[in-house]
Amino acid sequence: MNRQMKNLMAQAQKMQADLARLQDELAEARIEGGSGAVKAVVNGQGELIDLHISPDALADSDASLLEDLIMAAVRDAVARSREYSTSRMNALGLPGAGGLL
């Protein structure tokens, strides 16, 4: 195997190791979204981990409002998760590599 091919293989192995570490990091990350009434917590992969609803939000018996608050919190957390994972991929020099994770 020539030197250029060995370098290419080494780069590919490093990228593979970097991606594996990034996947672990994203799985462990915790990102919050929402307001004080409802907070959603997702990991760096956008998976919902936890949902916090304040007692005050429950005291207001408007189910429709509570549903809206929950949806907004989850959407906010997922959007922040995407931003986080994109920034981490860019830091590794992998812009647009979201489909690899």
Q: Phi, psi at residue 53, to the nearest 5°? A: -120, 120
- CA 37 to each of CA 32, 60, 76, 80: distance values in angstroms, whole numbers, following the listed order: 13, 11, 14, 18
> With 0-12 CB in 10 A as exposed, 13-18 as middle and 19+ as buried, what is 89?
buried
Residues of the chain with pLDDT under 50: none
Q: What pLDDT, on a 0 to 100 scale, did the predictor assign at position 53?
A: 94
pLDDT at 35: 84
Q: What is the pTM of this model?
A: 0.80
Phi, psi angles (nearest 5°) of residue 87: -65, -35
Domains in the chain, CATH or no CATH each: 31-88 (3.30.1310.10)
CA-based Rg of the chain, rounded to a whole angstrom?
19
Residues 58-80: tens digit of each pLDDT: 887 788 999 999 999 999 999 99
Q: How far apart are CA 42 and CA 72, in angstroms?
A: 13
